[in-house]
Chains A and B, each alone.
Chain A
Amino acid sequence: MSEANTYLDMELLRFSTAGSVDDGKSTLIGRLLYDSKSIFEDQYEAIEQTSKKKGEEHVNLALLTDGLRSEREQGITIDVAYRYFATPKRKFIIADTPGHIQYTRNMVTGASTSNLSIILIDARKGIIEQTHRHTFIASLLGIPHVVFCINKMDLVDYDEAVFERIKKETEAFASKLDVKDVHFIPISALKGDNVVNRSENMPWYKGSTLLYLLENIHIGSDHNHIDCRFPVQYVVRPQKEEFHDYRGYAGRIAGGVFKAGDKVVALPSGFSSSIKSIDTFDGEIEEAFAPMSVTLTLEDEIDISRGDMIVRENNQPTVSQDIDLMICWMSNKPLQERGKYAIKHTSADARCVVKEVRYKMDINTLHRLEDEKEIGMNDIGRVSIRTTKPLFFDSYKRNRITGSVILIDEATHETVGAGMIL
């Protein structure tokens, strides 16, 4: 097959990486990029030079993922950076997020769009506090697949017993969390064992390499294809003779499968109609599913605008102004009980008031701190809010798109909170 065709039926996998400082995250990403031949010569030469300048013995693959200058100077990653690579099977988007305690917000951000999370554990140290936190965040953010990479196996003589012990301990606490699909791989990011190439040093390991797993893990069910949800994003009204009466509702399917002829209801009005056509620039299509961007036309003229939602009659989301959330706070200014914020949910904009802080999570021990009401930067807690108008939502567990919100400070317009609806 020629290059031109191989790329046409690739799938997209978005994953994020987590680990504490020096667990080898940058080295691992560099290794994936390098061994999958996704690094360009000029990039390689640049890091080769930098490595030499710093007097390092080997070309430091970790430098490949090193971003902005201030970080280069501090030698740390301070934000989410996105990397790309592809194999003939899949295209990958890596959300590279740092593992420091103060940067929960970045991990949450990176995790929010990921199908898979790689959590690094240093084989010499085993499970540490951060491992709990990273796993908790992956579970909270509803990442469907979690891969624990036990790294630096070369420093523990590629010992199976070390791997098995860490695996057992991790399974024990991961089972208390809501992570569905868990994998364990013993690797050496530095030497390349089991990253792209199978390790000759660990014949006892019968599972797949990391890249093989990334290429083959089943991601077809990561979207909700059951509950039909179509948040109306934009109303298309062409000012053209031939489309004089055209009124199309543009949006991206958030769940379920929509077909021409389906009976639907528009929220909040509650008016029923049926789907006349599903339009795209390339012509009408029979059915549409998440995450397709399409334009729906309806048989009846009903008043629908941005922020409304088109759903199936017999499967409707919760419609309410009172919402319970797990929230991750992202601002230096702590969350204010009774505080008012702007809120965004699918294509809807509203305002809300925080009625109550129920508890704060200790994200290392997973204890609920019922007496602690102050939710500051990088804290996660449970809150109840009331919105100025009803939102149409599902639980985050059921649908990551219709179950997520962001809170915005009305004075600074900063995004201050990421909320997952319970």
Chain B
Amino acid sequence: MQAYNLTHLKELESEAIFVMREVASQFENPVLLFSGGKDSIVCAHIARKAFFPANIPFPLMHVDTGHNFPETIEFRDKFINKIGANLIVASVQDSIDQGRVVEEKGINASRNGLQTTTLLDAIEEHKFDAAIGGARRDEEKARAKERFFSHRDEFGQWDPKNQRPELWNLFNGMKHFGENFRIFPISNWTEMDVWQYILAEGIELPPLYFAHQREVFKRDGVIMSTSDFIEQKPEEKVNTMTVRFRTIGDMTCTGAVESNADSLELIIEEVAATRTTERGTRSDDKRSEAAMEDRKKQGYF
């Protein structure tokens, strides 16, 4: 008899496709959040698979801090073009110009916190009732209890005590006017799963993920890329190093790791041997142990 078994990657993919289709069915106006990072690229790839041969039946939205790596934006535009999707750009700069948020000052200034307002404003402006994101439960403790369908009140807030139980694959997307959902199709994936999948599927990524030479400096032990958006202290010396990025976010708060991994195979070997979590290279989470939980409650992903 033949064994009817799926590999873990196929099973995870199937689950994520199922979630994408539930979103398209249960919501009137969903959007897929696209940052240009590997997790959102994987989500977009899965969305393509879910609706094939039709196009993805909802737009992609980039919450643009204005402090992106130029490589990310270049990749984003090429990618969107290739898959024939609709892209909406929600700009943090606009939120600042409109006085919705005030830019942080000082040496560790970051626009990461400001994204929340821009995101919530965009959700309201476009009347999105579901925003799909590539967050994974293994990224951070506060995410371990996140649902696939995460309910947000009319202020976009997340209440960890008042989340609907999620049973089997019966996702409850019912909501009142003004409420919306965050949806996480790759909840059950780990960093390793994502890399394995990218390799298995031949998914293209921004070059930032692969080892390259870059001008960098160290701050609090984190390797930061030089850029127009960060002020350096006089003692922060600039060096050229061979580095790569494990996550891609704002240039002001995304740290690099020293690495010679310039292919997916080498990256996977590196991930397997690595002893720190991906978020370990993000300075925004370091601010406090409960930092992520606080930001989530306010409506961040």
Contacts and interface: CB of A to CB of B under 8 A. Distances in A.
Interface in B252-289: 264-265, 268-269, 272, 274-277, 280, 289
A91 B8 contact: yes
A299 interface: no
Given A42-B276, A257-B4, A238 B54 contact: yes
B145 A81 contact: yes
Interface residues of A, number: 80
24 contacts: A4-B268, A4-B269, A7-B192, A7-B268, A40-B275, A67-B142, A70-B161, A79-B163, A82-B144, A91-B190, A91-B193, A112-B168, A233-B22, A234-B25, A246-B53, A289-B4, A292-B14, A293-B14, A293-B21, A330-B165, A347-B25, A404-B167, A408-B172, A418-B167
Task: Among A8, A84, A400, find the residue whose CB has the most chain B CB atoms closer than 10 A.
Answer: A84
Contact of A250 (B3, B6, B13, B21): B21
A318 interface: no
B9 interface: yes
Contacts of A345: 170
Contacts of A9: 7
Contacts of B277: 40, 42-43
Which 5 A-B pairs give the minimum distances between C-beta atoms? A238-B54, A12-B8, A281-B49, A41-B275, A413-B174
Label chain A's interface by main secondary structure: mixed
A252 B18 contact: yes
B124 interface: no
B135 interface: no
Contacts of A70: 160-161
Contacts of A404: 167-168, 170
Interface of A: 2-4, 7-12, 40-43, 46, 66-70, 78-84, 86, 90-91, 93, 96, 105-106, 108-109, 112-113, 220, 223, 225, 233-234, 236-240, 243, 246, 248, 250-252, 257, 279-282, 289-293, 295, 306, 330, 342, 344-345, 347, 400-401, 404-406, 408, 413-415, 418
A381 to B, nearest CB: 17
Nearest to B7: A9
B169 interface: yes
Contact of A406 (B12, B22, B48, B167): B167
Given A3-B268, A279-B52, A82 B161 contact: no
A67 B269 CA distance: 29
Given A281-B52, A415-B164, A68 B145 contact: yes
Contact of B169 (A91, A108, A401): A401
Nearest to B166: A109
B145 A238 contact: no
Contacts of A105: 165
B294 to A, nearest CB: 8
A108 B11 contact: no
Contacts of B5: 11, 220
Nearest to A406: B170
Contact of B167 (A11, A257, A281, A415): A415
A281 B165 contact: no
Contact of A8 (B9, B15, B22): B9
A246 B54 CA distance: 9
Interface in B157-188: 160-161, 163-170, 172, 174-176, 187-188
B188 A93 contact: yes
Contacts of A248: 53
B50 interface: yes
Given A12-B6, A42-B280, 7 more contacts: A7-B268, A42-B275, A91-B190, A252-B14, A306-B25, A406-B167, A406-B168
